[in-house]
Amino acid sequence: MTESIEKTTMRKVFRRLLPLLFAMMFFNYLDRINIGFAALEMNKELSFTPEVFGFAGSIFFVGYMLLEVPSNLMLHKVGARRWLARILITWGAMAVANAFVFNATSFYVVRFLLGVMEAGFLPGVAVYLTKWFPERYRARAVGGYIIAGSFSAVLGGPLSTALMTYGDGYLGMSGWQWMFVLEGLPTILLGLYTWRSMSERPSDAAWLSADEQRWLESTLESERKALGDDGHVSIRKVAGDPRVWSLAALFGCALVGIYGLFMWLPQIVKNFGQLSNLEVGFLSAVPPLLGVLGTFLISRSGERKKHLAFVYGMSALAITGSAFAPTPILAYVMLCITGLFIYAGNPLFWSLAASFRTGAAGAATIALINTIAQFGGLVGPWSIGLVRGATGSFKFALVTIAAFLVLATIIALLMRVKPPEARAAKFEGEHKGVHNGA
């Protein structure tokens, strides 16, 4: 009987929640990367230099980092349904506001506010999952919506450039303006739907029977009690774990490549030849599409440290090859190979981060690692803009990305993954053994 209730309940939970979370994640990533496609026309129309565009891409992460922790505190206070709906509505409004920037200052302000409004979204969704999915189902649930980011990267190019191409001049607005409006409005509508339809917890879900509600609530409560003291590890102890800082440094260096490359990818591809915006959109979809393939292949691996080093090392080699390729075709092929490897490190990284601690301590660990690592978002787009502006070429900008990926490779090879207390316990045990033997 219990097994039947479990299967029925979890089937309903997956069918009800995952499509909504998938849609949230899809538009979350789309509203981050569409600036790269807008730049194909916006930069020329508003006279934005590479330095201006790069800084605007990076300032998003300032607001994001500053407000992530306060945002999560508010989520706990007012509830996930209300707070996630607020995040969606306000970030959608800022995404639409991108269409009406008119100079560098207004561009900076809107991108900063977009980061402010979006702050806390991913950790907030992670908290919401703990209210619905028992531990044995949680990894599948996370995978079900995280993959939406990859689909967004694949579909974002053709979708964004199609809106730019066919919307250009309608009602006196440029194509890039219509793209921001038409990709931001669905996020606002999704926020309104979330406010109206999302259930806060199983006991609030009219779409679950009373027996199903009781089974799910009791299962989750039993898991919370089973966490014991590990659920109350202090932030100070988490911050004192050297593994947190090494993994944050590793992922931060990788994010320089991930955000730097894919925010500038449309302009890099455009630089290969006389291509229309629509052609750029479709060509820009191939590297992240290969990244989806790489994610599926690498996620089957049990080994994480060495494979992290492998994927980031191969990314560094491929992007360097693109920088010095003798022909545009070969340069593009090397960018596609970069996409195959650079995305594949994400499941390995999150799997490794999740293995450090469990329960509330695990959530605090992941949040701290993610917040620290966002320096990669600050460095990546801006550094490429600075190098591109100074040299007039993407060659040394790509080499800059490769250098950070090499750092990520070295950190992956050298970092320790066993907890400090485990090493201390082992040392103490060996010391006692020697003492007793003497």
d(CA 73, CA 89): 19
Could you please report the per-residue DSSP string of 12-56?
HHHHHHHHHHHHHHHHHHHHHHHHHHHHHHHHHHTT--HHHHHHH
For residue 201, give the amino acid letter. Answer: R
pLDDT of residue 353: 66
Tokens (6 digits) for 79? 């509830």
Tokens (6 digits) for 254? 């990788």
pTM: 0.80
Query: Which CA distances in Å does 108 have to 60, 163, 267, 301, 338?
Result: 8, 23, 20, 41, 29
Q: How far is CA 118 from the centre of its chain?
A: 12
User: For residue 254, is pLDDT > 60?
Assistant: yes
Tokens (6 digits) for 321? 């090859």
> Counting Cβ atoms within 10 Å, is residue 389 exposed (0-12), middle (13-18) or buried (19+)?
middle
Dump pLDDT digits (tens) for 382-412. Answer: 888 888 888 888 888 889 899 999 999 999 8
User: For residue 97, is pLDDT > 70?
Assistant: yes
d(CA 343, CA 350): 12
Query: Which CA distances in Å does 135 have to 127, 131, 142, 226, 291?
Result: 13, 11, 11, 11, 27
User: For residue 229, is pLDDT > 50?
Assistant: no
Least confident of 167-171, 179-183, 237-241, 422-426: 422-426
Instruction: Taking residues 411-418, report their average pLDDT.
Output: 80
Backbone CA torsion sign across 251, 98, 112, 86: negative
